[in-house]
Structure 1
């Protein structure tokens, strides 16, 4: 039974999203999979940007179409994490970033939520007709590597990029169809 569902951000989630950002700031952590929530001037500007991020004609700065989701609990709609799905890869994402970025708030970690979120994101990738999904993580991010492996990720390569060892995992969605 799924504990989480992925929903599109709406104005009703403003307080939850700002609280999510505040929790990452308190722990001085990077927010992955949030499409820039950490550095926007306002929630409204972020919401407008992500609502247009799947439209090719709205993209600039070498961006690709993407969809950002909130991972909320099925019963209470409590914001657990965020997921950003890139519909295709460009040169930057082929190196660092991949098709999916995600994060779980610190207060909700080590409960299996990341694995569930990635699984839900992979279902979204299937509906976008992405046959093979690239998911990357820093080599020292053991929790993220475990999450990817729990979702059938196969390590393809590890390499140094801008001073950090990056691991590339591929998940073949054609086998799970």
Structure 2
């Protein structure tokens, strides 16, 4: 079982290790509040706090809450961004929720659990229609979304990839 927690300085070492593991593996750091773009934990954490509410969100972004997915030993296994609203770019290729799981923790059901927990957070925020997107080649992510009730609406083709857009309606 995993749980979602808000990042704090207590997780600095684990967050930096998470970033390094994705860089080593050449994986995409989805759902990490742009972690790849920051040199230090402090810079990332300050941006994360700024972007957590409408009054201080940085230009070009939407307010979002970033969660760490930790296991029963408090080990960081995944990260997740829950965007409070969508802009035009997120409506096409980002959605309300982005997530990633460490390579050595994949195929254990963590992504499905993370998304389920994120949908509970959406309910609390009164986001009752949730958009989640993934690369068409990422079959595991598509399964995670469908396992949580996602219905494929369409696919958007760009030069780089085909993005699948799924909607989940919460009751």
TM-score (normalised: structure 2): 0.97
Q: 2:55 aligns with which of 48, 57, 65?
A: 57
Q: 2:98 aligns with which of 101, 105, 111?
A: 101
Q: 1:72 aligns with which of 46, 70, 73?
A: 70
- The 5 Å alignment of 1:111-130 reads 111-130=108-127
- Partner Cα separation in structure 1 for residue 160 and residue 12 of structure 2: 35
1:61: Cα distance to partner?
Answer: 2.5
- Partner Cα separation in structure 1 for residue 42 and residue 156 of structure 2: 38
CA deviation string 1:91-117 (max 9, x = no partner) = 000001100000000010011110000
Residue 46 (str. 1) matches residue 29 (str. 2): no
- Partner Cα separation in structure 2 for residue 129 and residue 28 of structure 1: 36
The gaps in structure 2 that reach 5 residues or longer are none
1:34: Cα distance to partner?
Answer: 0.1
- Partner Cα separation in structure 1 for residue 82 and residue 150 of structure 2: 16
- The 5 Å alignment of 1:135-150 reads 135-150=132-147
Q: Which residue of 2 aligns with 1:7?
A: 5
- The 5 Å alignment of 1:20-31 reads 20-31=18-29
1:60: Cα distance to partner?
Answer: 2.8
Q: Which runs of 4+ in 1 moved over 6 A?
A: none
1:9: Cα distance to partner?
Answer: 0.3
- The 5 Å alignment of 1:158-169 reads 158-169=155-166
Q: What SS does structure 1 have at the residue aligned with 2:112?
A: helix
1:136: Cα distance to partner?
Answer: 0.2
- Partner Cα separation in structure 2 for residue 87 and residue 123 of structure 1: 13
- Partner Cα separation in structure 2 for residue 15 and residue 171 of structure 1: 34
- Partner Cα separation in structure 1 for residue 15 and residue 91 of structure 2: 28
Q: Which residue of 1 aligns with 2:150?
A: 153
Corresponding residue pairs, total:
171
- Partner Cα separation in structure 2 for residue 18 and residue 60 of structure 1: 22
- Partner Cα separation in structure 2 for residue 17 and residue 85 of structure 1: 18
Q: What SS does structure 1 have at the residue aligned with 2:73?
A: coil
TM-score (normalised: structure 1): 0.94
RMSD, aligned CA: 0.9
